[in-house]
Chain A
């Protein structure tokens, strides 16, 4: 199969061997489970349980506002074990810009009893719409880290290519690798279900970076007699980015203003695909996921199947936490974010925890001025000019920054990775984006206030006129009467 290239990208030291050698293990059942109401991109959910309620594993505890999750960009949240709701309150959550959020806290009873599950023995007998609705109710979101509700990407449009993303280009993360090695059949089945849901796509491609030969092997074997193509793509960060992968596989570029569906492509992550498989064939909603726990801050780096809501501290303990952890990172080494504390819950998008002790992550040497070497532009997968963006963001000249396509930046970090002056470029862009968004919100508010004000003036004026009119009428009436 012909492959294409996107501009730039970087070859990284994957640090994957730390955790990729051991089979996925089951994480322990914790005493308490914590469920933030927002674990995906889109509308938040609202609790439908109360403190004191008994819940079963797989039972919905928070539902989308409105009636039907499948009609919204949202996903319900399920209890990941049986027990009692003991609190619905503000708790610290793993979120890059939010410290606390409302969470449902469940004290587990140790029984781990499932609620009644609603499996679909033969999904092909159901319409795509029905399967899609089923997936929506299972609370499945993009498990590659993005957290976009999956059913939204299953809307019936003219889709001819389904891509299952097993590139896993981020350093340190190996959960997809292990999953592909251990459950290739589930992934394949899941892919077929997704295909059906999309109205039967012509092609289905599972893409695996060539640094995961065992995963590639396992998938190729099970896919042999099917029409699913398993494709090796060159290892290059960020090939696992949805739009980068589409470019590599199809040569087509999907810009920021477009959706992949507009060119007939839909991309789902391998673990998402497995979650779909489980939801449809076993009726099992999304209550757990595979998480890579790695770094030199734990004795046994490995992949664990973790119940959602499990406090990170418990998972770290199970992996032999060391006392000298300096940084705790959720996500990969390039796009993850550093967490301030370890009592935060694992959420749907937690694909990796890097516990970093001394010597694991390189401390950048001191900051130096930008020497305009252009190394950043050479590696930017979006072909932006990170240097120019940096100068404009630094000068708070946001107009110019936007003219240089600030909002096309995908935060991949390639530019900051190569910068010889160690300038935290991505932080500048994030800051600028946040500022611009905030000021746009302000602007909108002001505009609305202005409109309201104008409308009020208009109404007052109109009422005045009407009164005058009535007076006139009355006066006329008196005259003629």
Chain B
């Protein structure tokens, strides 16, 4: 009657990587729902396309690499990538772009590096950046807020490139607020003049600020559940706030307010859901603060002086590169070693 011999410890905390991934998905749901409310069914279609693409790409690679399918497919990480990418995309991007971005994220960015845990770049944001570089025009197309397309129109826009019903053609017109502000500033309008633009809401773009607010709630829930620690989101938003306040105070005519920066574009989604991806972030608390601060500052630099309206994607990717170095230089003092 030999007994089972396994190594110690024999006790385990009730935490689980799959459960963590599921919680990230739950936290995304409210934001996505509001997104649908403002921008119509395109969002749902994108989430579906991205999810299916992510799972099938993952399955394909695992099959090619002769790895068991179940554990990786059921750990939920592919879905997290898919949902984050879908949440970042315009509800009007053509179907093949969503597929391409997701497949690139899963196959190239994640699996070619060895799968979950081995990828130096966050797959969702790398997929997004790839699309942004390759198809800047399509990526910049956002629905005008005046008329949100219904289910059939959304399907038609995504799969045929135009809505079913002709009058809503101008639904495709829009640029994002970040874009508008950037271009107007180039044309020497002042911030005060630009704020008269119909896209402006309280602090940023009308509905976008609301959507981001709900994503923020999801992020706070993740904090509360201790799925993420506060260091990265606080550092990202804090540094962005500080640097934008500085320039805003310097000259509020050409530098938009700090609140505008925080609620616009992908900062909140990025700070709470993407930069906190443990695989690609710095690990120690101190390192996370540096990493997050780096993202916030880069976002501001790219938005203000760079070639793209939003900077979150490139900011995260750039800091992904530095994460190992940050880790190296923020090693804690080991117990018993001199201070």
Query: Interface residues, chain A, CB within 8 Å of chain B?
Result: 6-7, 10, 12-13, 171, 243, 247, 253-258, 325-329, 331, 333-342, 354, 356, 361-362, 364-375, 377, 381-385, 387-388, 405, 408, 411, 413, 416-422, 424, 426-427, 430
Interface centre among A366, A369, A382, A427 (most CB of B within 10 A): A369
If over half of A's interface residues share one DSSP class (helix, strand or loop), that class is named, otherwise mixed; here it is loop
A333 adjacent to B11 (CB under 8 Å):
yes
Cα separation A255 to B334 with both chains bound (whole Å): 9
Cα separation A351 to B11 with both chains bound (whole Å): 18
B278 adjacent to A371 (CB under 8 Å):
yes
A326 adjacent to B335 (CB under 8 Å):
no
Number of interface residues of B (CB under 8 A): 40
A7 adjacent to B335 (CB under 8 Å):
yes
Residues of chain A lying within 8 A (CB to CB) of residue B278: 371-374
A329 adjacent to B10 (CB under 8 Å):
yes
Query: Interface residues, chain B, CB within 8 Å of chain A?
Result: 1-13, 15-20, 71, 75, 77, 115-118, 278-281, 283-284, 327, 331-337
Among the listed B4, B284, B336, which residue makes an inter-chain contact with A255, where contact means beta carbons less than 8 Å apart?
A: B336
With A362-B12, A366-B71 known as contacts, the answer to whether A339 contacts B335 (CB < 8 A) is: no
B335 adjacent to A243 (CB under 8 Å):
yes
Residues of chain A lying within 8 A (CB to CB) of residue B327: 385, 388
A327 adjacent to B6 (CB under 8 Å):
yes
Interface centre among A12, A341, A372, A377 (most CB of B within 10 A): A372
A420 adjacent to B16 (CB under 8 Å):
yes
Among the listed A257, A335, A354, A377, which residue makes an inter-chain contact with B284, where contact means beta carbons less than 8 Å apart?
A: A377
8 contacts between A and B (CB under 8 A): A243-B336, A253-B336, A327-B4, A335-B8, A361-B10, A369-B117, A382-B334, A385-B283
A382 adjacent to B283 (CB under 8 Å):
no
The chain B residue with its CB closest to the CB of A366 is B71
With A369-B118, A374-B284 known as contacts, the answer to whether A383 contacts B333 (CB < 8 A) is: yes
Cα separation A432 to B102 with both chains bound (whole Å): 39
Nearest Cβ on chain A to B337's Cβ, whole angstroms: 6
A327 adjacent to B16 (CB under 8 Å):
no
A374 adjacent to B283 (CB under 8 Å):
yes
Residues of chain B lying within 8 A (CB to CB) of residue A365: 16, 18
Interface centre among A6, A375, A408 (most CB of B within 10 A): A375
Among the listed A372, A411, A417, which residue makes an inter-chain contact with B12, where contact means beta carbons less than 8 Å apart?
A: A417
Closest 9 CB pairs of A and B: A255-B336, A413-B9, A369-B117, A374-B283, A338-B5, A373-B278, A420-B15, A382-B335, A427-B7
Residues of chain A lying within 8 A (CB to CB) of residue B284: 374, 377, 385
The chain A residue with its CB closest to the CB of B5 is A338
Nearest Cβ on chain A to B27's Cβ, whole angstroms: 16
Residues of chain A lying within 8 A (CB to CB) of residue B8: 329, 331, 333-338, 411, 413, 426
B13 adjacent to A417 (CB under 8 Å):
yes
Residues of chain B lying within 8 A (CB to CB) of residue A336: 8, 10
Among the listed A341, A374, A375, A383, which residue makes an inter-chain contact with B3, where contact means beta carbons less than 8 Å apart?
A: A341
Cα separation A427 to B10 with both chains bound (whole Å): 12
Among the listed B4, B20, B332, which residue makes an inter-chain contact with A385, where contact means beta carbons less than 8 Å apart?
A: B332
A418 adjacent to B75 (CB under 8 Å):
no
B336 adjacent to A373 (CB under 8 Å):
no
Among the listed B5, B11, B20, B115, which residue makes an inter-chain contact with A340, where contact means beta carbons less than 8 Å apart?
A: B5
B334 adjacent to A405 (CB under 8 Å):
yes
Residues of chain A lying within 8 A (CB to CB) of residue B10: 327, 329, 333-334, 336, 338, 354, 356, 361
Residues of chain B lying within 8 A (CB to CB) of residue A382: 334-336
Nearest Cβ on chain A to B214's Cβ, whole angstroms: 25
A326 adjacent to B3 (CB under 8 Å):
yes
B283 adjacent to A387 (CB under 8 Å):
yes
Cα separation A335 to B335 with both chains bound (whole Å): 20
| Given A7-B335, A373-B278, 4 extra CB contacts under 8 A | A371-B116, A371-B278, A374-B283, A419-B15
Cα separation A377 to B331 with both chains bound (whole Å): 10
B71 adjacent to A368 (CB under 8 Å):
yes
With A334-B11, A364-B12, A413-B9 known as contacts, the answer to whether A372 contacts B117 (CB < 8 A) is: yes
Among the listed A253, A258, A408, A421, which residue makes an inter-chain contact with B17, where contact means beta carbons less than 8 Å apart?
A: A421
Nearest Cβ on chain B to A469's Cβ, whole angstroms: 57
With A371-B17, A372-B279 known as contacts, the answer to whether A255 contacts B5 (CB < 8 A) is: no
Nearest Cβ on chain B to A127's Cβ, whole angstroms: 34
Nearest Cβ on chain B to A364's Cβ, whole angstroms: 5
Interface centre among B11, B12, B333, B336 (most CB of A within 10 A): B11
Nearest Cβ on chain B to A13's Cβ, whole angstroms: 7
Cα separation A413 to B7 with both chains bound (whole Å): 10
Cα separation A10 to B115 with both chains bound (whole Å): 30
